[in-house]
């Protein structure tokens, strides 16, 4: 228990950083995933090609490489910086960018599968009454697609929350130099080699606390907003 009393605030801070990473990455990945899904089903060939290229490229690239590209490629080589004065803040937003782009490709494919579950007759009926492609998607197709893939989307968000651990590879920390959860776990294990099992259990439980509510909420929402067909 000495470990908890001595490092409790640091552990909470590290999980706070993980939670912020997951929150912002989740929002941006959902938004970008919707855009990519629209591109993938667009009647415009160029948009379909762009959507497919982005999805196939990032979905089949390890997240660690995407993180490294964000730091070394975008930031160091191309000069992209979210904060030139605070390195830790720049690293945080680069990690959010990498996580968002990577996760959005999985969101896109989940949404595309949801779009395919919408009966073709509904889309044809919408076109018959004069709705444009955009109106058809916004008013008829996407609302049903989103409601039919709540559980798969939740699985993607849970995986993204656990993928925040990869942010340690580009040095994501807080202003007080506290690492995100996995990085802080490694640091504590190095300093307390006689309590490795306890440290592992603490951080495993911490991630369960972050991810289990997502699954419970998704289970409730999928029943509450199920599409009646």
Alpha-carbon span 1 to 9, nearest angstrom: 14
Q: Is the dihedral of CA 9, 15, 18, 20 positive or negative?
A: negative
pLDDT tens for 202-214 read: 888 989 999 999 9
Averaged pLDDT score across all residues of the chain: 85
pLDDT above 60 for 4 = no
Beta-carbon contacts of 222 under 8 Å, excluding residues fewer than 6 positions away, are 150, 151
pLDDT of residue 48: 92
Q: Could you give the domains of the chain?
A: 3-225 (1.10.3720.10)
Provide the whole-model pTM.
0.88
pLDDT of residue 174: 66
Q: Where are the alpha helices (DSSP H) in 118-195?
A: 120-128, 133-136, 142-148, 150-163, 181-191
Q: CA end-to-end span of the chain, whole Å? A: 55
Average pLDDT of the residues in 144-160: 90
The residue length of the chain stands at 229
HSE-CB at 87 with a 13 A cutoff on CA atoms is: 7
pLDDT above 90 for 157 = yes
pLDDT tens for 89-144 read: 888 899 999 999 999 999 999 999 888 888 777 777 877 887 777 888 888 888 88
Structure tokens at 114: 């949801």
- Let me know if 51 is exposed, middle or buried by CB neighbors in 10 A (0-12, 13-18, 19+): buried
- Per DSSP, the residues of 54-85 read HHHHHHTS-HHHHHHIIIIIIIIIT---S-SS
């Amino acid at each position: 228990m000495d470990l908890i009393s001595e490092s409790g605030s640091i552990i909470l801070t590290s999980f706070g950083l993980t939670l912020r990473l997951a929150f912002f990455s989740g929002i941006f990945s959902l938004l970008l995933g919707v855009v990519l899904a629209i591109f993938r089903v667009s009647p415009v060939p160029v948009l379909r090609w762009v959507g497919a290229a982005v999805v196939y490229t990032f979905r089949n690239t390890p997240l660690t490489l995407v993180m490294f590209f964000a730091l070394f490629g975008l930031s160091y080589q191309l000069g992209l910086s979210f904060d030139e004065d605070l390195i830790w803040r720049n690293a945080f937003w680069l990690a959010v960018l990498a996580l968002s782009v990577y996760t959005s490709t999985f969101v896109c494919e989940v949404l595309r599968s949801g779009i395919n579950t919408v009966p073709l007759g509904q889309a044809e009926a919408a076109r018959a009454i004069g709705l444009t492609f955009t109106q058809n998607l916004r008013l008829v197709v996407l609302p049903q697609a989103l409601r039919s893939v709540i559980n798969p989307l939740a699985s993607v968000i849970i995986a993204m929350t656990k993928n925040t651990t990869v942010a340690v590879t580009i040095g994501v920390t807080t202003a007080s130099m506290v690492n995100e959860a996995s990085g802080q776990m490694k640091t504590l294990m190095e300093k307390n080699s006689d309590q490795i099992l306890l440290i592992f259990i603490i951080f495993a439980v911490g991630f369960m606390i972050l991810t289990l509510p997502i699954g419970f909420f998704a289970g409730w929402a999928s029943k509450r907003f199920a599409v009646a067909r």
